[in-house]
Amino acid sequence: MPDIAFPMGDRRIFYPSIAAILAMLVAAAAGYLWLPRADVPLPLVADCRLDRQACSAALPGGGRVEMALEPRPVPASAPMRVTVTVEGEQPGRVEVGFQGVDMNMGLHRLQLRTAADGRHVGETTLPVCVTGRMVWQATVMLEIGRRNITVPFRFESGF
């Protein structure tokens, strides 16, 4: 069987083909990084109040998120501890946004830090309402992969 030798001209086809493949891979990676994230808003967890107990909700695709506030009842104008536990998913970032339901108190966002036990924790103080009692919505914001998942909970403060 005779040896087949490639003429030198075939290398001129090989290198540009490799360069084109590498350029397509770089373009695909850059496109993935620049794609918009998917926003996944979940409905209000209406059957649970954070000022009375820890509340949880199922995440799309499996897993759960649980949120707790301490102390209970939630005080007005005093520090409170915020704890979020995520099961079945590994979030890249966890934040909680606080908004007044019946009165505009602005949006207060709190980025939580990851504790040694895997829970996400932080401490904050909510603004004082002149009426004393206030209904709040606490929205947990999870960054999981290419999704931004939001889970709203309700509670009262100022007892």
Which residue range forms the structural domain that includes residue 153? Answer: 38-157
Report the share of the chain in percent with pLDDT over 70. Answer: 84
**Cβ within 8 Å of residue 9, ≥6 positions away:** none
Q: Which of 135, 144, 139 is nearest to 41 (CA)?
A: 139
pLDDT of residue 48: 93
Q: For residue 107, what are the CA distances in angstroms to 7, 43, 59, 97, 103?
A: 70, 19, 24, 7, 11
In the chain, the number of structural domains is: 1
The answer to whether position 89 is within a domain reads yes
Provide the whole-model pTM.
0.76
Per-residue model confidence (pLDDT) at position 141: 97
CATH, residue 135 = 2.60.40.1930
Q: How far apart are CA 66 and CA 84, in angstroms?
A: 6
Query: For residue 44, is it within any domain?
Result: yes
pLDDT at residue number 57: 97
Assigned domain for 118 exists: yes
